[in-house]
Amino acid sequence: MSFNLPKSDKKRVVIVGGGFGGLRLANKLRNSDFQVVLVDRNNYHQFPPLIYQIASAGIEPSSISFPFRKIFQRRKNFFYRMAEVRSIFPKHKIIQTSIGKVHYDYLVLAAGSTTNFFGNQHVEEEAMPMKNVSEAMGLRNALLDNFERALTCAGEQERRELLNVVIVGGGASGVEIAGALSEMKNFVLPKDYPDLPSNLMHIYLIEAGDRLLASMSRESSAKVERYLRSMGVDVQLGKMVTDYKDHRVVMKDGSSIPTRTFIWVSGVAAQPVGNLPETLLGRGRRIKVDAYNRVEGLDGVFCIGDQCIMTADEAYPGGHPQLAQVAIQQGTLLARNLVRLETGEELVPFRYKNLGTMATVGRNRAVAEFKEVKFGGFFAWFLWLAVHLRSILGVRNKLVVLFNWVWNYFSYSQSLRMIVYAKKAKEVREREKLMASTHWGLDLMSEGIETSSAPEKKES
């Protein structure tokens, strides 16, 4: 396999990851004098803030996903390749991917974050994460399948396990999925499963800290906790999950909860890059960068968004929060700085502008914070809807999500609750197996010796 990129006298910017930061950077380089190559394991951009609504069957996966090739249609000097990055060789300005190698003049790592299991491998094997569209679809299928099985199982203990939902992590994702599942319990189950009493379903939200939404004020945390408790969610603070065995979530204090729906949204870690030395990594495996998002000690390599940690900003000495706005602002500035590098101008350091934080737990219930202004309730919920609707890519997607929200607000009668398990074609399965087992001669590459995959028809 090969990247098959055309030869060009333009300098090449390779962007790894098409999330908020990578997409903003690629768009801002539209009229620049660069050849831009976007590399992502998926062929679409996804909108993480609404992924929990896929898991709770509130919206369709396609409503918050948008194909890269659609975004960049008729774009000159832009190329997209679906691949995973395996290693970086800055001495040769080459990255090795699942489809081969590609040279770069500037490399930007913007692959975002993944679920952090804090080294607990057994929990990682057993729990259901909710970080991307495919994981959310898997969670949705598991939930609906458990409801169906609860109707037909013979034992009360098994029914209890099937109808108990345990969510670990009291951040925004945790409170949002807890609220969405509570609404499903209160408004959907009685209609879809009239012969299954909805009071048998119990939703537990487990948080190791002393409050929910630790990144927001205590006032907002307390408000969200009240909202969730009023909706029937069992919020348990100061509880640390250590294991999952025999269909029971086990806590450090020895207590346990029976469940077959074990959702883990307790923290994130940066997407790993295979051969980066530990000295370049900070908290949460985030790559250390300077005030200009340059990776320390690697010429021509930058990192933005959730994947990096910048301590040069005096307002955020421990690194910026892993939020969409940070990635977007860093992508915008880096596009300007790359142009400045080519023209010999002085680079501009990054300073994060906090535009506020919001979280929702359901209809008419949300909290919002903007500098010194904090409020909750209907207005915060309406503002949350408007901000997120505005940020979704594509006019069609905006209209579909808006229609779903309006329809659901008045009826709670979405018809999206299908259990669909996709089966990959044999050709795709064999290709993935081959790519996973191919090491691409990385040891030779690290010694500076040219390797070959398939003969390249074009320069890469």
How would DSSP label each residue in 314-355?
TT-TT-----HHHHHHHHHHHHHHHHHHHHTPPPPPP-----
Cα angle value 338/340/344 (rounded, 5°): 125
Third-level CATH fold of 121-266+356-411:
FAD/NAD(P)-binding domain (3.50.50)
Q: Where are the alpha helices (DSSP H) in 46-107?
A: 51-55, 68-71
Task: Report how far residue 170's alpha carbon sits from residue 153's, in angstroms, rounded to the nearest whole number.
Answer: 31
Asked if residue 452 has pLDDT above 50, the reply is no
Residue-wise pLDDT for 168-213, tens only, equals 999 999 999 999 999 999 988 999 999 999 999 999 999 999 999 9
Task: Report how far residue 310's alpha carbon sits from residue 289's, in angstroms, rounded to the nearest whole number.
Answer: 5
Is 203 in contact with 228 (CB distance < 8 Å)? no
pLDDT for position 414: 67
Report the amino acid identity of residue 276.
L
Residue-wise pLDDT for 362-389, tens only, equals 999 999 999 889 999 999 999 999 999 9
Is 173 in contact with 130 (CB distance < 8 Å)? yes
| DSSP H or E stretch at residue 40 | strand 34-40
Task: Report how far residue 97's alpha carbon sits from residue 51's, in angstroms, rounded to the nearest whole number.
Answer: 27
Residue-wise pLDDT for 203-250, tens only, equals 999 999 999 999 899 999 999 999 999 999 999 999 999 999 999 999
Choice among 178-187, 345-354, 385-394 with the minimum mean pLDDT? 385-394
pLDDT band (50, 70, 90) for residue 421: confident
pLDDT for position 413: 67
Looking at residues 438-449, what average pLDDT do you find?
Answer: 47
* Domain boundaries defined on the chain: 11-41+83-115+271-354+425-446, 121-266+356-411
Which whole-number Å values give the CA distances from 407 to 363, 382, 402, 413, 456, in the listed order? 12, 15, 8, 7, 52
Asked if residue 96 has pLDDT above 70, the reply is yes
pLDDT for position 183: 92
Is 445 in contact with 87 (CB distance < 8 Å)? yes
Mean residue pLDDT across the chain = 90
Q: What percent of the chain has pLDDT over 90?
A: 74
Report the amino acid identity of residue 352.
Y
Residue-wise pLDDT for 61-79, tens only, equals 888 999 999 999 988 899 9
Asked if residue 138 has pLDDT above 80, the reply is yes
pLDDT for position 438: 63
Kindly report the pTM of this predicted structure.
0.89
Residue-wise pLDDT for 114-124, tens only, equals 999 999 999 99
Residue-wise pLDDT for 144-169, tens only, equals 999 999 999 989 999 999 999 999 99
Task: Give exposure, 190-199, as e/b (b: 16+ Cβ within 10 Å).
Answer: eeebeebebe
Residue 233's φ and ψ, nearest 5 degrees, are -85, 135
pLDDT band (50, 70, 90) for residue 443: very low
Which whole-number Å values give the CA distances from 393 to 45, 265, 400, in the listed order? 9, 25, 12
pLDDT for position 411: 73
CATH level 2 (architecture), domain 11-41+83-115+271-354+425-446: 3-Layer(bba) Sandwich (3.50)
